[in-house]
């Protein structure tokens, strides 16, 4: 197993350091979540082939299924997400329709007032999911993407308070270099 992981790491490093004919690094930002629910989602994507990439995202104030913080409810949650993107577009690298299997880890808690005082739910959970979207690549530098995903969390405590199935979406903007 160690050799397999080491081989994958070496292959990834070789792909990262190889010369590309197009910009293969992208920083991105989900502008829709900032406007709609005051959640910050920033990410980095690395194209290691014309139609394949690995992406990593950090979600600050991550909200399960876009729940609000009204009526004395407060999310103290953040997440880290690692995904693989496969693009079906042929015009530009890393553009067009894409699918995104991912793993995500959320950590933090959720607090709400009740008749019995303050209730706290431990939101630490591991999530596996699948996303899809469409990305437009303008001049191999500016990108816009619309996307959605569905995931399954594996925490009994989160499932009791919320749901085992989670939905996520956004409107992302990014810059390639």
User: Helices (H), strands (E): how many in the chain?
Assistant: 3, 9
Question: What pLDDT score was predicted for residue 17?
Answer: 52
Question: What pLDDT score was predicted for residue 72?
Answer: 54
At 15, is the secondary structure helix, strand, or coil?
helix
Cβ(61)–Cβ(77) below 8 Å: yes
Cβ(85)–Cβ(52) below 8 Å: yes
Question: What pLDDT score was predicted for residue 13?
Answer: 59
CA count, 13 A, side-chain hemisphere, 53: 25
Rounded CA gap, 98 and 90, in Å? 11
Q: Which of 91-105, 106-120, 139-153 has the lowest mean pLDDT?
A: 106-120
pLDDT at 36 over 90: no
Rounded CA gap, 15 and 7, in Å? 12
Cβ(158)–Cβ(64) below 8 Å: yes
Structure tokens at 153: 């969390």
Q: Which of 53-57, 81-85, 106-110, 144-148 has the lowest mean pLDDT?
A: 106-110
Question: What pLDDT score was predicted for residue 51?
Answer: 92
Q: Which of 63-72, 85-94, 100-109, 123-132 has the lowest mean pLDDT?
A: 63-72
Q: Which of 7-11, 21-25, 64-68 has the lowest mean pLDDT?
A: 7-11
Considering the entire predicted model, what is its pTM?
0.80
Question: What pLDDT score was predicted for residue 5?
Answer: 57
């Amino acid at each position: 197993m160690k050799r397999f992981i080491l081989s994958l790491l070496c292959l990834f490093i070789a792909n990262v350091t190889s010369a590309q004919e197009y910009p293969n690094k992208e920083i991105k930002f989900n502008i829709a979540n900032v406007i709609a629910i005051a959640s910050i989602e920033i990410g980095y994507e690395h194209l290691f082939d014309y139609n394949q990439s690995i992406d990593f995202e950090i979600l600050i104030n991550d909200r399960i299924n876009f729940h609000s913080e009204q009526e004395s409810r407060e999310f103290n949650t953040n997440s880290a997400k690692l995904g693989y993107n496969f693009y079906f577009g042929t015009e530009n690298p890393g553009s067009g329709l894409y699918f995104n299997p991912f793993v995500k880890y959320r950590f933090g808690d959720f607090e709400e007032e009740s008749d019995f005082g303050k209730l706290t739910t431990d939101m630490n959970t591991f999530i596996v999911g699948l996303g899809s979207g469409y990305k437009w690549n303008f001049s191999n530098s500016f990108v816009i993407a619309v996307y959605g995903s569905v995931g399954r969390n594996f925490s009994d405590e989160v499932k009791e308070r919320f749901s085992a199935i989670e939905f996520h979406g956004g409107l992302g903007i990014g810059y390639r270099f």
